[in-house]
Amino acid sequence: SAAEKGGWPSFMKKEIAEEPDAVANTLRGRTHDGAVALPELDGVAEALSGINRVLVLGCGTAAYAGMVGKYAIEAWARIPVDVELSHEFRYRDPVLDEHTLVVSVSQSGETMDTLMAVRYAREQGARTLSICNTQGATIPRESDAVLYTHAGPEVAVASTKAFVAQVTALYLLGLHLATLRGTLDADAVAAQLTELEAVPTKIQRVVEASSARIAELAHWMSDTQSVLFLGRHVGFPVALEGALKLKELAYIHAEGFAAGELKHGPIALIEPGQIVFVVVPSPRDPSSLHKKVVSNIQEIRARGARVIAIAELGDVAVVPFADEVIRIPLAAPFFEPLLSVVPLHVFGMELATAKGLDVDQPRNLAKSVTVE
């Protein structure tokens, strides 16, 4: 009802505006003196110290949050992390044992594909941890432990604020595992937590600084047939999430690619006028990824693509090659996806709005898919 929306034109607009709080509330009470405090995992402390592998399961946006988490958990806790779609995992005779930690990610905690995957993992002897946004839902009830995200109720069918809360929870888990395993010292953990605690304010700035411009862009693009998204490293799942939002909300053909994969196929899709969003890594990152992504932009631009770059404030190298640059505040590499995803959420919503569609209730979709 209009009252529940509290004056917002849609639940989705309200929920995107709540992304800063989704992160802040998921962090609240879970850090103490620069360390991670997750008493809800005390019961599985012994199990966690015995694991040699993490497997993250989810569907849709939850799986993309898992993909972002993989990069950070591997880097921090030095443990192999795989991410799989729940429905693919369940039916391929996977190898797992009591040293495998299966982390399910689900906003609703009721997605049948993920529930069946968790049940199967338990039967195989794996340890199960649920990252869930809904108190008392079936998946957390059937798991060994639960780490709740505190994004607040998400009503719009397509997930937005749950994504940033899920990444936050996965990062807390990664830093917790890094502490248990001694792979990061106390100062390094504290430094990452300081970065994480700065995220809500930065998301707020992204929403405020970019929403009006994105609404304009979306308006101009309302008859667009296809949009591509490129990203690399943690920007890759962000590209997938940006594409998913356009499919779900605006019914536009959209695809996300790993930027490094461009030359292995997708570049053949580029023809004059093709709109491509590019999630650009920070030029301050010691890896050479920024340079590589900028040269990808040059390659697609030379073939006529219209490039909308999502880049850090002060990154001047992209300016000559992009038709449009959406700015995000400076953050350490692992924290960029929590910022760069926000303009893509806004874009999906605005394009659907420009097309006169119902952003909260897209056709053919259900908020929680309780059938396999």
Respond yes or no: is residue 263 known to be catalytic. no
Residue 114 binds to ligand G6P (criterion: CB under 6 A):
yes
Residue 274 binds to ligand G6P (criterion: CB under 6 A):
no
Instruction: Provide, rounded to whole angstroms, the least separation between the CB of residue 53 and ligand G6P.
Output: 22
Could you say which residues in the range 134-173 bind ligand G6P, by CB under 6 A? 157-159
Binding residue (CB under 6 A) for ligand G6P from 16, 31, 60, 306: 60
Binding mask 353-372 for ligand G6P (x = CB under 6 A): ------------x--xx---
* Whole-number Cα distances in Å, 360 to 207, 212, 316, 351: 19, 20, 37, 13
Residue 107 binds to ligand G6P (criterion: CB under 6 A):
yes
Instruction: Provide, rounded to whole angstroms, the least separation between the CB of residue 158 and ligand G6P.
Output: 5
Spatial separation of the C-alpha atoms in residues 54 and 51, rounded to whole Å: 8
How many Cα atoms occupy the beta-carbon half-sphere of 329 within 13 Å? 18
Residue 115 binds to ligand G6P (criterion: CB under 6 A):
no
Spatial separation of the C-alpha atoms in residues 78 and 198, rounded to whole Å: 25
> Token pair for residue 254?
């959209």
Residue 249 binds to ligand G6P (criterion: CB under 6 A):
no
Instruction: Provide, rounded to whole angstroms, the least separation between the CB of residue 74 and ligand G6P.
Output: 22
What does DSSP say about strands 275-279 and 306-312: parallel, antiparallel, or unpaired? parallel
What does DSSP say about strands 127-132 and 100-106: parallel, antiparallel, or unpaired? parallel
Number of residues that bind ligand G6P (CB under 6 A): 15
The CA radius of gyration of the chain, in Å to the nearest whole number, is 20
Instruction: Provide, rounded to whole angstroms, the least separation between the CB of residue 355 and ligand G6P.
Output: 18
Spatial separation of the C-alpha atoms in residues 238 and 170, rounded to whole Å: 15
245 or 306: CB nearest ligand G6P: 245
CB 318 within 8 Å of CB 325: yes
204 or 368: CB nearest ligand G6P: 368
The residue among 72, 163, 89 whose CA lies nearest residue 126 is 89
Q: Residue written as tokens 């009591």?
A: 98
Active-site residue set: 367
Q: Which residues bind ligand G6P (CB under 6 A)?
A: 59-62, 106-108, 111, 114, 157-159, 365, 368-369
